[in-house]
Amino acid sequence: MNFNTSVIALIKKRQSKRAYIKKDLGKEYIEKINNVLQSYTEGPFGNKVLFSLIVKKVATEKHKVKLGTYGFISGAQYFIAGQVKNTEHANIDYGYLLETIILHLTAMGLGTCWLGGTFSRNELSGILNTDNNTIIPAITPVGYATDTASVRESIIRWGAKSDSRKDWAELFLSGSFALSLPKEEAGSYKVPLEMLRLAPSASNKQPWRIVKTPGAFHFYLKRSPGYNRIGNGVDLQMIDIGIAMSHFELTCRELELKGQWAEINPEIDSSEIYEYCISWII
């Protein structure tokens, strides 16, 4: 599915929205959203993800949908949740697909917010009728966001340092983990890397590290000490890698820069704190 506006502009515009107007989206918007969800079902690693639009006010025979967002989200009447088999790289594919969907929703003028650890997975599992080998890595509300941030939202953004990003020199490296990548050495890929730098991440940890070698950009995960996996197959920082991949690839496509994803052996001296994920081969 093509974007009807610049992805670069959407990446710069996107911001997590935690307060929503209690208003129905309407048939036309719901149809557009479902079309987007049906367009993104398989990630770069081949994992299949089934996304659903959940209407919070719809009552089931047993209970109304609550989702348990623990006060982080207010007023939202709609949520998008996906399910994927608990296999290798499932979290990366999920992050890649949902962030791409979120950028489409941004283009539609709708608000969103990544939620990884602040919702009730048990309730969603019942709604989506998942099995024991299926995970729901993250969800997002979707709807008409309020124009001004509430005091609570401002505090949350401040606590998570949502508006700050690590320096270029810390995230992007040349040939090894010891040398920073000069911006001029990035060449035409400077903009895709900058759009990657703006990607959202769990607790704004920004765990991605990109090492450039001749003919490739290698994506690594640098885990944050003390920042544990949720469990049951959900790995928030691997989701972050998928989000970063989405920003990078979509920007490359917009700028008509060549490249494709591949798993290779970069032969870069590493340590236990860096986990190789995938490479963008030029």
Identify whether the C-beta of residue 207 lies closer than 8 Å to the C-beta of residue 237.
yes
The number of angstroms, rounded, from the C-alpha of 147 to the middle of its chain's C-alpha atoms is 23
Rounded average pLDDT over 113-131: 88
Task: Please state the φ and ψ torsions of residue 69, each to the nearest 5 degrees.
Answer: -90, 10
pLDDT at 231 over 90: no
Burial of 74 (0-12, 13-18, 19+ CB in 10 A): middle
Least confident of 104-108, 132-136, 162-166: 162-166
Count of helix runs (H) and strand runs (E) in the chain: 9, 10
pLDDT at 1 over 60: yes
120: nearest Cα among 104, 106, 136: 136
DSSP 40: -
Rounded average pLDDT over 224-241: 86
Extract the tokens encoding 192: 């895709």
Confidence of residue 121 (pLDDT cuts 50, 70, 90): confident
Instruction: Give the C-alpha separation, 164 to 19, whole Å.
Output: 21
Looking at residue 133, its pLDDT comes to 94
Instruction: Give the C-alpha separation, 111 to 146, whole Å.
Output: 9
Amino acid at 156: I
pLDDT at 90 over 50: yes
Least confident of 37-51, 111-125, 221-235: 221-235
* Beta strand extents in 56-168 (DSSP E only): 78-85, 111-112, 134-135, 139-143
218: nearest Cα among 187, 170, 176: 176
Instruction: Give the C-alpha separation, 41 to 254, whole Å.
Output: 21
90: nearest Cα among 33, 138, 141: 138
Rounded average pLDDT over 20-48: 97
Rounded average pLDDT over 45-62: 82
Least confident of 7-11, 40-44, 81-85, 267-271: 267-271
Q: Is 194 helix (H, G, I), strand (E, B) or coil?
A: helix
Looking at residue 61, its pLDDT comes to 47
Looking at residue 147, its pLDDT comes to 76
Looking at residue 226, its pLDDT comes to 76
10: nearest Cα among 195, 197, 143: 195
